[in-house]
Amino acid sequence: MKILVCISKTPDTTAKIAFTDNNTKFSEAGVQFIINPYDEWYALVRALELKETQSATVHLVTVGGADTEPVIRKALALGGDEAFRINADSQDSYYIASQISAHAKQQGYDLIFTGKETIDYNGSSIGGMVAELLDLPFISIAAKFELNGTTATINREIEGGEEIVTVNLPAVVSCQKGMAEARIPNMRGIMAARTKPLTVVEPVAVEALTSIVSFELPPAKAGVKLIPADNVEELVKLLHEEAKVI
Categorise residue 223: left if φ over 0, alpha if ψ from -120 to 50, beta otherwise.
beta
pLDDT value at residue 2: 97
pLDDT, tens digit, 9 for 90 and up, residues 89-103? 998 999 999 999 999
pLDDT value at residue 30: 86
Domain assignment present for 90: yes
Strands 19-20 and 25-26: antiparallel
pLDDT value at residue 205: 96
Torsion, CA 207, CA 118, CA 181, CA 68, rounded to 10: 60
> Residue 199: CB partners within 8 Å, gap ≥ 6?
82, 83, 84, 85
Domain count, the chain: 1
Domain assignment present for 157: yes
Domain of 63, in residue numbers: 2-218
Q: Work out the pLDDT band at 219, boundaries 50, 70, 90.
A: confident
Task: CATH number of the domain at 198, please.
Answer: 3.40.50.620
pLDDT value at residue 116: 95
pLDDT at 127 over 80: yes
**H/E stretch holding 104:** helix 93-107
Q: Work out the pLDDT band at 121, boundaries 50, 70, 90.
A: confident
pLDDT value at residue 187: 75
pLDDT, tens digit, 9 for 90 and up, residues 12-66? 988 888 888 888 888 888 899 999 999 999 999 999 999 999 989 999 999 999 9
pLDDT value at residue 158: 87
Domain assignment present for 71: yes
pLDDT value at residue 135: 98
pLDDT value at residue 117: 95
Q: Distance between CA atoms of 233 and 244, rounded to whole angstroms?
A: 15
Q: Distance between CA atoms of 197 and 104, rounded to whole angstroms?
A: 17
Domain assignment present for 231: no
